Amino acid sequence: MLPNSLKRINEQADGYDGIMLKSGIDIIEIGRLERSIERHPRLLARVFTPAELAYCLARHRPGASLAARFAAKEAVMKALGIGLGRCSWQDIEITREQGGRPRVILHNRARQLAREMGVGEINVSLSHCHAYAAAVALAESSFSEEPLMGAGDHSMVQKNSGL
């Protein structure tokens, strides 16, 4: 017999059947990304969307902002269980809500793969210090036949927390 506190937890969990959470995490040395960009300037346009570049390059420490978004893209790929090459870097866009929280917008192949997996929400948290940037992504999948997002959605926009 379960104690009352465990019974309440068990009853609350009953409403969440059919939900699976998958996580991804990434950390990158900011200087390493900055050196890569210096050697290969085209990397910026290959990895980041125009909106990401506009935001990051206007920041006090553009390298830290770019590295945080790079780590977030990698974390999202890991949370989705897709490797590099399954979608374009630009198919995963990290933007900001009005309050400053980052959000994930999936486009094209990344959006298609997420829909096939039943992913309805991706949360991401970004952080950086002097030398490193890190990100954690959490993808929520539903076991129902339809993903959690509406059929009329043209992009997959997810609310998140972090930088």
In the annotated binding site for Mg(2+), the residues are 26, 74
78 is catalytic: yes
146 Cβ partners below 8 Å, 6+ apart? 118
Name the active-site residue from 22, 78, 130, 154. 78
159 is catalytic: no
d(CA 102, CA 56): 13
| Other Cβ atoms within 10 Å of 4 Cβ, number | 8
Point out which residues pair with 124 in neighbouring strands. Answer: 137
Name the active-site residue from 7, 60, 128, 159. 128
- Write out the DSSP string of 78-135: HHHT--TTSS-GGGEEEEE-TTS-EEEEE-HHHHHHHHHTTEEEEEEEEEE-SSEEEE
Question: Which active-site residues does the annotation give?
Answer: 78, 128
